[in-house]
A and B are shown apart, each in its own frame.
Chain A
Amino acid sequence: MNTVRNILAIAGKEMRSYFASPIAYIIIGLFALLFGWFFYVYLHVFVEQSQRMSMMGGGNVNVNEQMIRGVLQNAAVIILFVMPMITMRTYSEEKRSGTIELLLTSPLTDFEIIVGKFLGAMGLFCAMLVVTMIDVAILFRLGNPEWRPIAAGYLGLLLMGGCFISVGLLISSLTKNQIVAGFMTFAVFLMLWVINWLADSSGPTGQAILSFLSITDHFDDFTKGIIDTKHLAYYLSFITFGLFLTAKSVDSERWRG
């Protein structure tokens, strides 16, 4: 009961500080713009394609398979760029301004603070995703897509975003400097993204390991509308592990002083 109240207090504070500054509006706005652009491009291609198909007489085009999937994959790339800007300040800023002393001397556990911060960042991320649903709503109005694969795709984005946030929190807890935190987070995200590029040429074991580590390989099934427990387990344990390491990092900071 207390735990939930404390977590919500921290999450609320995080959300408020995002929305009290221009950060939230700029991130949400630009994300919506880029998402909309990709959406428009894919829609355009899709419309041309389906016209060509119908002129050639028949053939089946699937809006989910040929359009949504591409949009979601591109959205994931934008998130890769945007997320460091959301997470880089979470701990760095508190350390720099000294407010970390307030949090660490209040009757809160490290767990409550970290989960609160995680949920705060997730809140902003959800707001980003909600705004993009305008585009999807237009699609539903004009066409007849299947909602399940779209929902699965959004779930995938949410989970992948959660992984990024947990890594971002960890890195932010390591430094006072926001720029360092932001750039390191970006580099780590990118590494997690491209780690499977060598998979094909690294032998059967290497391939299995590399593509298992890759954050994108797990995302792929979600864009196809498949919710596989294997991927759920990967994302959820990734998030848990990231938050666990953040807790250890905050605790060790305490001992080092």
Chain B
Amino acid sequence: MIEVQHVTKRYGRVTAVDDVSFRVERGEILGFLGPNGAGKTTTMRILTGYMPATEGRATVAGFDIFTNPIEAKRRTGYLPETPPLYPDMTVREYLDFVARIKGVPASERKQRVTSVMERTRVADMADRHCAKLSKGYRQRVGLGQALIHNPDVLILDEPTAGLDPKQIIETRALIRSLAGDHTIVLSTHILPEVAQTCQRVVIINRGRVVAVDTPDNLTTRLKGAETMYVQVDAGADQPGPTLAQIPGVTRVSAADGPSGGGFEVESDRGTDVRREIARAVVNRGWGLLELRPMRMSLEEIFLQVTTDETPQAAGELAGVAAAAQDASGSVEGQHQ
């Protein structure tokens, strides 16, 4: 339904989005996770045709957003970070106006406006001016605006930002109920939101995709493995195969590039392979320069990648970040 291929966006010398590619299947909810300034909004703005990409292409509902923007936009509903409301219109007038410019036929307009107001629970404010709405209502009217033409694709930029806990739960339930009929991309920097609403997650940091997987897999991948960082001075030898032969080690990947001598060594969860690694390195007569669990740097990454909602969420978050980190590390390893 949505296909993004090697999209890059540069503002002058700053690269906001760097070679991002992903796909979203029909009826799926994709979560876009990353810290503020990671490039989530820019990617969404490219997908909705608000701004063109510097490089790469994107198709929405089978239409290229650069060469056939009108058809693509006809099938897309978009909730920007700030709901785009006109303060001097009432909620009803506003939704009617949006229905008009989204091409809803005149005969269906009234009925669409009514049903959307009910679905997003703003009917009680139908004749209130948008300027006088509370943050929660604004967000919901914004969501209603995105739904008004019953689009195939919904792109929601932080749909739960600024809502109170009850509204957050309601909005998440609404979004889940929309999946199936609609393909949804939503961005957030809150991990539990992803776990609760999305079927697949794209983690983006500093404009790059660092992981794409289901929330469950991302967590399992972390829980199923322990990762050590090992730096070895092996002279002319290649330490990789030796490390991989150590019992309990499941994967070895180069961490610092071919010449760096740094490796990430993964092992089954619960087995501590530090002693074996040290012994193997010393037995071969190499110099063991560094050997440490990856935990510390994972926490750093976690701090970079996300902001926490609760301490418990922070724990989960570290998990996903870890998985993200190891995914990107192994991809780089393969390239070399």
What is the interface of chain A, defined by CB distance below 8 A to chain B? 2, 5-6, 9-10, 12-13, 16-17, 20-21, 97-109, 254-257
- B101 near A108: Cβ-Cβ < 8 Å: yes
Q: Which of A13, A104, A107 sits near B50, CB closer than 8 Å?
A: A104
- B51 near A255: Cβ-Cβ < 8 Å: yes
Interface residue B97 (Cβ < 8 Å from any Cβ of A): yes
Shortest distance from the beta carbon of A215 to any chain B beta carbon, whole Å: 32
Neighbouring B residues of A6 by C-beta, 8 Å: 100-101
- B80 near A101: Cβ-Cβ < 8 Å: yes
- A17 near B74: Cβ-Cβ < 8 Å: no
* In the bound complex, CA of A6 to CA of B16 (Å): 33
Interface residue B86 (Cβ < 8 Å from any Cβ of A): yes
Interface residue B31 (Cβ < 8 Å from any Cβ of A): no
Between-chain CB contacts (< 8 Å), 26 pairs? A2-B103, A5-B100, A6-B101, A12-B97, A13-B86, A16-B88, A97-B85, A97-B87, A98-B81, A99-B84, A99-B85, A100-B84, A101-B45, A101-B84, A102-B98, A103-B101, A104-B50, A105-B48, A105-B76, A106-B73, A106-B98, A107-B103, A254-B52, A255-B51, A255-B52, A257-B11
Neighbouring A residues of B84 by C-beta, 8 Å: 97-102
With A9-B101, A20-B89, A102-B98 already in contact, 19 other A-B pairs whose C-beta atoms are closer than 8 Å: A6-B100, A9-B97, A20-B88, A97-B84, A97-B85, A97-B86, A99-B84, A102-B78, A104-B50, A105-B73, A105-B80, A106-B101, A106-B102, A107-B71, A107-B102, A107-B103, A257-B9, A257-B16, A257-B45
* In the bound complex, CA of A107 to CA of B98 (Å): 11
Q: Mark B198-213, 1 if CB is under 8 A from A, else 0.
A: 0000000000000000
- B86 near A104: Cβ-Cβ < 8 Å: no
* In the bound complex, CA of A205 to CA of B88 (Å): 51
Shortest distance from the beta carbon of A12 to any chain B beta carbon, whole Å: 8
* In the bound complex, CA of A109 to CA of B82 (Å): 23
By size class, the interface of chain B is 20 to 34
Interface residue B70 (Cβ < 8 Å from any Cβ of A): yes
Which residues of chain B from 29 to 81 have any CB-CB distance to chain A below 8 Å in the complex?
A: 42, 45, 48-52, 70-71, 73-74, 76, 78, 80-81
Neighbouring B residues of A2 by C-beta, 8 Å: 103
- B82 near A98: Cβ-Cβ < 8 Å: yes
Interface residue B145 (Cβ < 8 Å from any Cβ of A): yes
Neighbouring B residues of A20 by C-beta, 8 Å: 88-89
- B49 near A104: Cβ-Cβ < 8 Å: yes
Neighbouring A residues of B74 by C-beta, 8 Å: 107
* In the bound complex, CA of A17 to CA of B88 (Å): 6
Q: Which of B50, B80, B98 sits near A254, CB closer than 8 Å?
A: B50
* In the bound complex, CA of A253 to CA of B85 (Å): 21
Neighbouring B residues of A109 by C-beta, 8 Å: 70
Shortest distance from the beta carbon of B55 to any chain A beta carbon, whole Å: 13
Neighbouring B residues of A105 by C-beta, 8 Å: 48-50, 73, 76, 78, 80
- A255 — nearest CB in chain B belongs to which residue? B52
Known: A98-B80, A102-B84, A105-B73. A257 touches B101 (CB 8 A): no
Neighbouring B residues of A257 by C-beta, 8 Å: 9, 11, 16, 42, 45, 51
Shortest distance from the beta carbon of B47 to any chain A beta carbon, whole Å: 9
Neighbouring A residues of B85 by C-beta, 8 Å: 97, 99
- B145 near A102: Cβ-Cβ < 8 Å: yes
* In the bound complex, CA of A2 to CA of B102 (Å): 11
Known: A97-B84, A101-B84. A10 touches B76 (CB 8 A): no
Q: Mark B139-182, 1 if CB is under 8 A from A, else 0.
A: 00000010000000000000000000000000000000000000
Neighbouring A residues of B76 by C-beta, 8 Å: 105
- A254 near B51: Cβ-Cβ < 8 Å: yes
Which residues of chain B from 254 to 268 have any CB-CB distance to chain A below 8 Å in the complex?
A: none
Neighbouring B residues of A99 by C-beta, 8 Å: 84-86
